[in-house]
Chains A and B, each alone.
Chain A
Amino acid sequence: EVQLHQSGAELVKPGVSVKISCKASGYSFTSYNMHWVKQRPGQAVEWIGVINPESGGTDYNGKFRGKVTLTVDKSSSTAFMQLGSLTPEDTAVYYCARGDYSGDYFDYWGQGVMVTVSS
C-alpha cells in the first residue's frame, strides 16, 4: 500500500526556518516525482515545487524560489521541504504528493503538516 507519512505540526516564530519530512512507503521511491503544495483556508492550493528523487533535480514555483528548498534522502525514502524566513503568510497546511509517472497529477498525498507562524 502506497503511503506518504509527514512529520508533525509546527509552531514557529517569525524569521526562523522549519523542515518538514515526508516518508514514502509501498512503492519505489526513486521512480516517482514528489511534489509539495500549500493550502490556506479559503484560498486556492498553491504548487510549491517538485523533486526527482532519483536525480535530486528540482523545479520551483517562482513565487517560492528562495523561500523553499526541496531535498530527499534515498536511503530512507524520505523527502524534505525546508521553509525559510517564515512570516505569518507562511501559516498553512503543507502537503507532499506523489506525481503520477504519466503526468504531474497527484495520485497519493501525505496527511499534511500544519505550520503556524506566530510570535
Chain B
Amino acid sequence: DIRMTQSPASLSASLGETVNIECLASEDIYSDLAWYQQKPGKSPQLLIYNANSLQNGVPSRFSGSGSGTQYSLKINSLQSEDVATYFCQQYNNYPNTFGAGTKLELK
C-alpha cells in the first residue's frame, strides 16, 4: 500500500495568513492526489483533485501543487471559516490511502 505522510499534524495561524500543508507519498502517484476539508461533526468536502484542480465552488484562496511524491495544499489569506482538519488522498493505486490529517486552528 502507498503510505501518505502528512505534515504538520496541527497548525495554528492568524487570520489573513498563508498556510501550507504537505503530503509525501511513499512512491510516485502521478498527481492522483486530492485534498479534503472536514469540519467537526461534518462530512469531508473535496477541495482539490488531480493535485492542482480546484473543485467547483471552492474559494480560490485554496490551491494545490506538486508532482511525483510531494504535494502541498496552500491556503491564502486565512479566513475563520477555514478552521478545520485537512487531509490528502492518493487514488493512483488501490487501496486508496489517506494522510493522517492536519488540524488547523486560529492563533
Residues of chain A whose beta carbon lies under 8 Å from any beta carbon of chain B: 35, 43-47, 50, 59, 61-63, 95, 97, 100, 103-107, 109-112
Contact = CB atoms under 8 A, between A and B. Distances in A.
Contacts of B50: 103, 105
A44 B49 contact: no
Contacts, number: 57
Interface residues of B, number: 22
B26 interface: no
B94 A59 contact: yes
A97 B99 CA distance: 17
Nearest to A35: B96
B100 interface: yes
Given A47-B95, A61-B95, A62-B95, A109 B89 contact: no
A44 B50 CA distance: 20
Given A44-B87, A44-B100, A44-B101, A107 B95 contact: no
B82 interface: no
The B interface, classified by DSSP as helix, strand, loop or mixed, is loop
B43 A95 contact: yes
A105 B98 CA distance: 11
Interface in B71-106: 87, 89, 91, 94-101
B98 A100 contact: no
Nearest to A112: B43
Contacts of B45: 109
A100 B94 CA distance: 15
B19 interface: no
Nearest to B46: A107
